[in-house]
Amino acid sequence: DEMRDHIFELLSNSFFQKWKERHQVRYTFVKGCLKLEMPPPFSVVIQESEKGSWHVPITCQNNESERSWLCITR
C-alpha cells in the first residue's frame, strides 16, 4: 500500500488523529436500531492559539452547540 508510509508519518505528528476526529462517523445499535454519531463541527480537545492562549472544553454534553469552553491567557 503506497499510502502506508504517508499515514505513519501523519500519525507521528498527530495530524492524522485530528483529521480522524473531524471525519470519523461512529455507530452503535440502540435497542436494535442503528444510531450514527456524526463528527463534531470543530475539535473538542484542548487547543493553544498562536498567541499562547489555551481553550479547554469544560463540559461533556452530547450537543456540541452547547459546549462550554474555558479560555486561559498568559
Domain boundaries, the chain: 1-39, 41-74
Residue 1 pLDDT > 70, yes or no?
no
d(CA 73, CA 10): 29
**What pTM did the predictor assign?**
0.48
- What confidence score (pLDDT) does residue 72 get? 92
Instruction: For residue 57, give the nearest of 41, 65, 46 by alpha carbon.
Output: 46
Query: What H or E segment, with its residue span, contains residue 40?
Result: none
Predicted confidence at residue 17, as pLDDT, reads 75
Mean pLDDT of 2-19: 67
